[in-house]
């Protein structure tokens, strides 16, 4: 099992990492499994795939569903959800009640936050910041430097 950051004891965890047969770019991935009830997730539920505990915060109701992946130095936190076959890569951040779902890929140093919902076959990358209470869907490509969509 991957190491946790100092200060995160088992009593403070909402999930554990379990072995999987899946790899990403030659690196093994772990399947998350909830160990407590929170939000709409029940203890024992299996979630998506991560490279380490860094990819998913142990605080708030954030979650990664079964087929979704968070890899590299990406991070899901603050009640955000990574769902369906969505992927969070590189140093991308998903936070503040935002959701990525269907086949969305967010990469680079992209930040998706503040109630933003992105779905369909959308790609997000570069240094883009996507925020605000709105929805972007279906076959969009957002790959610019620091452009705000709200």
Task: Please state the rounded mean pLDDT for residues 69-88.
Answer: 97
pLDDT tens per residue across span 97-145: 999 999 999 999 999 999 999 998 888 888 888 888 878 876 667 765 4
Domain boundaries of the chain, sorted by first residue: 14-149
Q: What are phi and psi of 54, to 5 degrees?
A: -60, -30
pLDDT at 146: 42
Q: What is the pTM of this model?
A: 0.88
pLDDT tens per residue across span 44-76: 999 999 999 999 999 999 999 999 999 999 999
Residue 10 above 80 pLDDT? no
CATH architecture of 14-149: 3 Solenoid (2.160)
pLDDT at 120: 87
Buried residues in 81-117 as b, exposed as e (16+ CB within 10 A): bbbbbbbbbeebbbbbbbbbbeebbbbbbbbbbbbbb
Separation CA 21–CA 39 (nearest Å): 28
Residue 130 vs residue 95, higher pLDDT: 95
């Amino acid at each position: 099992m991957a190491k946790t950051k100092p200060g995160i004891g088992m009593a403070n965890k909402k999930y554990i990492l379990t072995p999987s047969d899946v790899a990403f770019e030659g690196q093994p991935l772990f399947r998350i499994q909830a160990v407590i009830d929170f939000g709409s997730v029940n203890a024992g539920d299996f979630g998506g795939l991560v490279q380490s505990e860094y990819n998913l915060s142990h605080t708030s109701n954030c979650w990664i569903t079964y087929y979704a992946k968070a890899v590299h130095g990406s991070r899901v936190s603050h009640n955000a959800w990574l769902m369906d076959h969505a992927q969070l890569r590189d140093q991308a951040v998903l936070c503040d009640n935002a959701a990525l779902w269907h086949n969305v890929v967010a990469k680079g140093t992209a930040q998706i936050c503040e109630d933003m919902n992105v779905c369909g076959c959308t790609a997000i990358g570069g240094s883009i910041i996507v925020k605000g209470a709105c929805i972007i869907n279906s076959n969009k490509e957002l790959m610019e430097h620091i452009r705000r969509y709200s």
